[in-house]
Amino acid sequence: MREELFADRVQPDTPSRLEGLFPQMDFDDAITFTAGSPAEDLFPKEAMQQAYLDAIAAEGAHTFQYHTISGPEELRSRLAVRAQQKMAIEGVDADNVMLTAGGQQGIDLIAKLMLNKGDGLVVEAPTYVGALSSFDMYEPTYYEVQLESDGMDVDQLEETLKAHNNIKLVYTVADFHNPGGVTMSVEKRKRLVELANEYDFMILEDTPYRDLRYVGESLPSIKHFDTEDRVIFLSSFSKILMPTLRLGWMVAPKAVIKQLYKLKEAADLEVPNITASAVNQFLAKNDLDKHIEGLIKAYSGKRQAMFDALAKEMPEGVEATCPEGGFFTWVTVPDFINTTDLLYDVVTPKAHIAYVPSKNFYAFKDHTNGMRINFTGLTPDQIADGMHRLGGVLKEEMSKASLKTAQ
Amino acid sequence: MREELFADRVQPDTPSRLEGLFPQMDFDDAITFTAGSPAEDLFPKEAMQQAYLDAIAAEGAHTFQYHTISGPEELRSRLAVRAQQKMAIEGVDADNVMLTAGGQQGIDLIAKLMLNKGDGLVVEAPTYVGALSSFDMYEPTYYEVQLESDGMDVDQLEETLKAHNNIKLVYTVADFHNPGGVTMSVEKRKRLVELANEYDFMILEDTPYRDLRYVGESLPSIKHFDTEDRVIFLSSFSKILMPTLRLGWMVAPKAVIKQLYKLKEAADLEVPNITASAVNQFLAKNDLDKHIEGLIKAYSGKRQAMFDALAKEMPEGVEATCPEGGFFTWVTVPDFINTTDLLYDVVTPKAHIAYVPSKNFYAFKDHTNGMRINFTGLTPDQIADGMHRLGGVLKEEMSKASLKTAQ
């Protein structure tokens, strides 16, 4: 095998964008703030086990057979109702809902649907690293738009659209941004749809954290404001139920889903029926929203512990976002600190903690003074302890730097 | 949403290659020979249900968490042993084994790894329709090589390689071909590897039916003859266990798997741990080969029923392959009969049976006088009845034609 036989999209010497994101630490007192994983002790383990049994009982051996590209209509109907009730997406039915292998496959298939090599794609800066790994495969031209405290900078977006007429797709995590922690305002949601209509592009609204709001009122989805079938709303069961389901779902125009089915068929034939049927059984026999309330209660406490720890431990000059939901806060340090170097040189070996450095969340990997910090996978004590250690490291780095400046 | 925003690989007005392959018939006496599905009554339902429970018991709530791109090492070790024992693939270990979302994803990821737009790709004529649907997405230049009774015409392949220097990949179903029913001889396997070395291409050996041999001795895999890490061996649990697992596996050079992991991560993050763990538990507590023996016994009888029925019912001028294993026989009718038209105009509405017409199995959809007929999904009585009906239709068509010729 010679590397010359690989396609251009494969860059053998470039590590995966996800590589090294989750460093293993062999210390007894290690605390990792890297995870995008939900807390395992909150999984509805017994109920889901029962749901698998119920799925097998309902269909017998046929459970295990090939089924269809679209999956169970009953499940898609439930999700269409959920889209109307929770996402304020009107006028959709089961045929507007497509099941995917996690939200990740939704991103991948939509990129595959839209992007020729070189086509323009707008991403937030920072943005979800897994989306970048999907997008890379279709060799787009990336345009970055800054993330602000109320979502992407839509003025900068319009400037970008004016300057580049090849833009076909804008990708956004509007609710409790991964990694930024911020939420897009209603005004910006409206403006984004108006720009899509004016400049002729599609919007991929990726919302894995949307149901996990700890304070404030839920905002209408971007899809709610869609007037020309330009918004694809993407959700997932990974954060509110369990990641191993690998079950995502999207709400999209029927004409889009028709084409996406061809792409999914080519990629992996269909969503496993046993999974789709088990989730359908789970939803029939359990109250998903009550389960989510339990998650919100548990995660709210962890969020407060993180805010308290950050306020107590971080030196002046370090800033953190205050997410109203989701899994992450985004910490910005003075720009003389490179958070990748700091992680590998000091934070992991000496403080025995880990975060994800900002570099990974930028299309061009050129941002070096931020970090994504997860608060949902840890206990309040671990959060307090971990932030104390991080604060100590940052204070030391900053005092070293001010000594240098003073010299 | 405007279709102009779709990528070139999406052809909105072209139906999926799989569309219409499995027509629904609302007749009480319908018999369908279209399926690629294994017989449901042979699924190890109880054992697999127990395997899911065992998987959950073994890891507890962690079963449902994100795991790794590579999946359980124990399962990959079992498969490496199987590759050595059953496929005659020497010198491989767990790290040569990659898990995929069914064999379909294996095909898709390898195409994604290798093919730039316009790169040369050799497929057999006919070939597996699902592979064509994956390949289409990477916009290759197709070269067809005729399938003969002992596998692809390797002389024609060499002529093609001499004439076109852009060929990077040869795709073959060497054992019990889908749809052709034939098996590649040992001589051709060796020659194919020699050609790969000489003309610098990779081979994708797709073997979902390999374990299901009803007569004769198992042949070494093509991978067995590989001297320069040019063969990727792809298998699946869909036909020997259950399709809904959506679990395939491949044996490939470690350098190839390293790159494929990046592509899989971008496509859907990882194989669901609950599935991989359940299959691992199944293999630990059940004898897979004994289960396969049961399948072989049941399918052998169906195969014999099919041969008997074809011999009895088909008019002169109709030929069928005699597969030593797998699911399908390939029937060739006189070339004045278009099997697509015949299916929709006569066979389905009047005889209430269905096959898959040859057109679907050719890269250029230009072959019109063949049909793929499944024999594993039906009882011997259904096979006898269905072939009687098909023979009747063909006799009528052929006598109409000879009347016309006589006039």
Rounded CA separation B41/B242 (Å): 11
Question: Residue B398 phi/psi, 5° resolution?
Answer: -75, -35
Q: What was the pLDDT predicted at B48?
A: 97
Residue A11 belongs to some domain of the structure: no
B153-188 core/surface letters (b: 16 or more CB in 10 A; e: else): bbebbbebbeeeeebbbbbbbbbbbbbbbbbbbeeb
| Helix, strand, or coil (residue B206) | strand
Q: Whose CA is closest to A35, among A332, A325, A356?
A: A356
CB A78 within 8 A of CB A232: no
All residue ranges of chain B with pLDDT < 70 are 1, 406-407
**Residue B267: its chain A contacts at CB < 8 A?**
101, 104-105, 108, 134, 267
Q: What was the pLDDT predicted at B405?
A: 73
Provide CB contacts within 8 A for A275, sequence distance 6+. Answer: A245, A246, A247, B272
Same domain flag for A100 and A221:
yes
CA distance A136 to chain B (A): 9
Banded model confidence at residue A353, pLDDT cuts 50, 70, 90: very high
Task: List the single residue in A1, A244, A267 with the smallest CB-CB distance to B105.
Answer: A267
At residue B19's C-alpha, the angle toward residues B119 and B31, to 5°, is 130
Residue A384 belongs to some domain of the structure: yes
Same domain flag for B281 and B132:
yes
Interface probe for A, chosen from B262, B264, B270, B282 (most Cβ of A below 10 Å), is B262
Provide CB contacts within 8 A for A366, sequence distance 6+. Answer: A359
CA distance A398 to chain B (A): 36
Same domain flag for A331 and A364:
yes
Rounded CA separation A390/A257 (Å): 46
Position B153, amino acid: D
Same domain flag for A304 and A178:
no
Position A303, amino acid: R
Q: Beta partners for A398?
A: none
Residue A206 belongs to some domain of the structure: yes
Taking an 8 Å cut-off on Cβ atoms, the answer to whether A61 and B52 are in contact is: no
Q: Which of B286, B310, B326 is the last residue of a domain?
A: B286
Same domain flag for A190 and A305:
no
CATH number at residue B33: 3.90.1150.10
Rounded CA separation A290/A326 (Å): 17
Q: Whose CA is closest to A355, among A337, A336, A340, A338?
A: A340
Q: What was the pLDDT predicted at A36?
A: 86
For residue A41, count CB atoms less than 10 angstroms from its CB and return exposed for 0-12, middle for 13-18, buried for 19 or more.
Answer: exposed
CA distance A272 to chain B (A): 5
Taking an 8 Å cut-off on Cβ atoms, the answer to whether B5 and A168 are in contact is: yes
Rounded CA separation B225/A176 (Å): 54
Task: List the single residue in B7, B64, B268 with the smallest CB-CB distance to A43.
Answer: B64
| Helix, strand, or coil (residue A366) | coil
Residue in chain A nearest B272 by alpha carbon: A244
Residue A184 belongs to some domain of the structure: yes
Q: Are strands A328-332 and A370-374 parallel, antiparallel or unpaired?
A: antiparallel
Q: Which of A208, A235, A269 is the last residue of a domain?
A: A269
Same domain flag for B301 and B345:
yes
Residue in chain A nearest B232 by alpha carbon: A1
Taking an 8 Å cut-off on Cβ atoms, the answer to whether B262 and A10 are in contact is: yes
| Helix, strand, or coil (residue B44) | coil
- Is A324 a residue whose pLDDT tops 90? yes
Same domain flag for A76 and A195:
yes
Task: List the single residue in A244, A262, A263 with the smallest CB-CB distance to B64.
Answer: A244
Provide CB contacts within 8 A for B217, sequence distance 6+. Answer: none
**Total tally of structural domains belonging to chain B:** 2
| Helices (H) then strands (E): counts for chain A | 11, 14
Q: What was the pLDDT predicted at B1?
A: 62
Q: Whose CA is closest to B276, among B29, B20, B76?
A: B76
- What's the gap between Cα B262 and its chain centre? 25
Taking an 8 Å cut-off on Cβ atoms, the answer to whether A63 and B255 are in contact is: no
Q: Beta partners for A124?
A: A145
For residue A65, is it left (φ>0), alpha (ψ between -120 and 50) or beta?
beta
- Is A407 a residue whose pLDDT tops 70? no
For residue A311, count CB atoms less than 10 angstroms from its CB and return exposed for 0-12, middle for 13-18, buried for 19 or more.
Answer: exposed
Same domain flag for A127 and A221:
yes
DSSP string, A347-362: IIIII-EE-EEGGGGS
Residue in chain B nearest A121 by alpha carbon: B5
Same domain flag for A263 and A117:
yes
- Per-residue pLDDT tens digits for A187-232: 999 999 999 999 999 999 999 999 999 999 999 999 999 999 999 9
Taking an 8 Å cut-off on Cβ atoms, the answer to whether B266 and A134 are in contact is: yes
Interface probe for B, chosen from A136, A261, A269, A295 (most Cβ of B below 10 Å), is A269
ipTM of the complex: 0.96
Same domain flag for B265 and B148:
yes
Rounded CA separation A296/A186 (Å): 23
Same domain flag for B155 and B8:
no
CATH number at residue B251: 3.40.640.10
CB B121 within 8 A of CB B115: yes
Rounded CA separation A224/B172 (Å): 48
Q: Whose CA is closest to B260, among A211, A175, A142, A12?
A: A12
Q: Whose CA is closest to B114, among B104, B106, B102?
A: B106
If residue A304 lies in a helix (H) or strand (E), which one and from where to where? helix A288-313
Q: Show the beta-strand stretches assigned E in A8-93.
A: 31-32
Task: List the single residue in A61, A244, A267 with the smallest CB-CB distance to B108.
Answer: A267
Q: What was the pLDDT predicted at A162?
A: 98
- Is A1 a residue whose pLDDT tops 70? no
| Helix, strand, or coil (residue A320) | strand
Q: Beta partners for B203?
A: B170, B231
Same domain flag for A294 and A265:
no
Banded model confidence at residue A26, pLDDT cuts 50, 70, 90: confident
**Residue A96: its chain B contacts at CB < 8 A?**
none
Question: Residue A406 phi/psi, 5° resolution?
Answer: -70, -30
Residue in chain A nearest B67 by alpha carbon: A244
Taking an 8 Å cut-off on Cβ atoms, the answer to whether B67 and A244 are in contact is: yes
Task: List the single residue in B66, B104, B266 with the smallest CB-CB distance to A108.
Answer: B266
Rounded CA separation A96/A317 (Å): 47
Q: Whose CA is closest to A75, among A280, A241, A238?
A: A280
CA distance B21 to chain A (A): 12
CA distance A391 to chain B (A): 29
Q: Which of B239, B269, B286 is the last residue of a domain?
A: B286
Task: List the single residue in B119, B242, B270 with the smallest CB-CB distance to A64.
Answer: B242
Q: Are strands A247-251 and A319-320 parallel, antiparallel or unpaired?
A: unpaired
Task: List the single residue in A2, A105, A270 with the smallest CB-CB distance to B267.
Answer: A105
Tokens 């000059």, residue? Answer: A317
Q: What is the span of the domain harbouring residue A220?
A: 68-269
Q: What was the pLDDT predicted at B238?
A: 97
CA distance A243 to chain B (A): 5
Distance (Å) of CA A149 to CA A233, A321, A366, B76: 22, 8, 20, 46
What is the average pLDDT value for chain A, to the nearest integer? 96
